[in-house]
Amino acid sequence: MNSTLNQEETMPGNKAGGDMFVMKCGGSTLAALPDSFFEDLKGLQEKGVQPVIVHGGGPAISGNLEKLGIETEFVNGLRKTTEDVLDVVEMVLAGTINKQIVRRIQSVGGSALGLSGSDGGLIEARPVANSAEVGWVGDVTHVKSSILNGVMEMGYMPVVAPIGVDASGQRYNINADTAAGAVASHLGVARMIVVTDVPGIMKSAGGEKRVLPTVTVQEIEDMIGTGEIYGGMIPKVRAAIACIHGKVREVVIVDGSEPNVLSRVVAGEVLGTRIVRM
């Protein structure tokens, strides 16, 4: 870690630890969740537990691109991002989706503040290795955790859109799972929660699929190899693996429709799948 990160993480008021967690959720998943989910978020905030939300919005981006007649394609799971596509990505993620989430939290009495990774240079990025194929897609190089801590010190829940920026001001489209993992790592939280529309990582046993309560990094690699983990779950588990270092001990994948799912996970109840490094 560089000296800037170390300085930020030792600043007075840094809340890294057991009273904070990073939550990642897709925009379409969040839109489908009931008010009770957001009331649970508000309740945690009132108890002094600080959620930091990083969201996606893939289906909404695709829908808007289609309406505008802009072609889009995926290369190894990453959206090929031209300047035209990037304009729509930023509009949807930092605009529509981000503000919808903020409004839903505030509609149940919570306090939230929406941010893009461009704001204050919150998420610093560089081109991915295969940028020649995928365009303006970025990898996270640094997260200014002092900005997020400042927002929380003011009593607001940060809601972060995964847009990155480099020193020249170039924008990057960043996979939301990757961004959430980077935010968790740089904040030094103990737990990251991935809210999805599935109950966890499933494994076939005796002719039926069951949720694995705990899975190790090696078991995940084996399941990807055999095809038991596939499609959109692969970037989720890869991002989880990437952020399990330093103070981040575990990533929990849960179904957002479970009643009071966040407060139950924070309280230590076994729900969904815990990904741990052995």
Q: Is residue 102 part of a domain?
A: yes
The 8-class DSSP code of residue 207 comes to T
Q: Is beta strand 273-276 parallel, antiparallel or unpaired with respect to 250-255?
A: antiparallel
| Joined tokens for residue 99 | 């503000």
Residue 76 annotated as binding site? no
Residue 26 annotated as binding site? no
Number of domains in the chain: 1
Q: pLDDT tens, 234-276?
A: 877 877 787 776 677 889 999 999 999 999 999 999 999 999 8
User: Can you give the pLDDT at residue 74?
Assistant: 87
Q: What is the mean pLDDT of the chain?
A: 88
User: Can you give the pLDDT at residue 157?
Assistant: 97
Q: Report angle CA 74, 231, 24 to the nearest 5 degrees.
A: 90
Q: Could you identify the residue written with the tokens 């980077």?
A: 182
Give phi and psi for 139, each to the nearest 5: -105, 145
Q: Is residue 12 part of a domain?
A: no
d(CA 109, CA 124): 32
Cβ count near 276 (within 10 Å) = 15
* Averaged pLDDT for residues 185-193: 90
Q: Which of 16-20, 218-222, 244-248, 271-275 has the lowest mean pLDDT?
A: 16-20
Q: pLDDT tens, 61-107?
A: 999 999 999 988 888 778 899 999 999 999 999 999 999 999 999 99
In this prediction, residue 202 has a pLDDT band, given cuts at 50, 70 and 90, of confident
Cβ atoms of 157 and 20 closer than 8 Å: no
User: Which residues make beta-bridge pairs with 75?
Assistant: 78
Q: Is residue 176 part of a domain?
A: yes
3-state DSSP of 97-143: HHHHHHHHHHHCCCCEEEEECCHHHCEEEEECCCHHHHECEEEEEEE
Distance of CA 233 to the CA centre of its chain: 13
Q: Is residue 178 part of a domain?
A: yes
Burial (CB count within 10 angstroms: exposed 0-12, middle 13-18, buried 19+), residue 268? exposed
Q: Is residue 13 part of a domain?
A: no
d(CA 4, CA 174): 22
Task: Name the region of 155 (left: φ>0; alpha: ψ -120 to 50; beta: rest).
Answer: left
37 lies in which domain range? 18-276
The CATH code of the domain that includes 91 is: 3.40.1160.10
Residue 43 annotated as binding site? no
Return the C-alpha torsion angle 84, 85, 88, 93, nearest 10: -140
Residue 120 annotated as binding site? no
Q: Is residue 5 part of a domain?
A: no
Q: Is residue 77 part of a domain?
A: yes
- 254-to-10, 24, 260, 264 alpha-carbon distances in Å: 31, 11, 11, 11
Q: Is residue 213 part of a domain?
A: yes
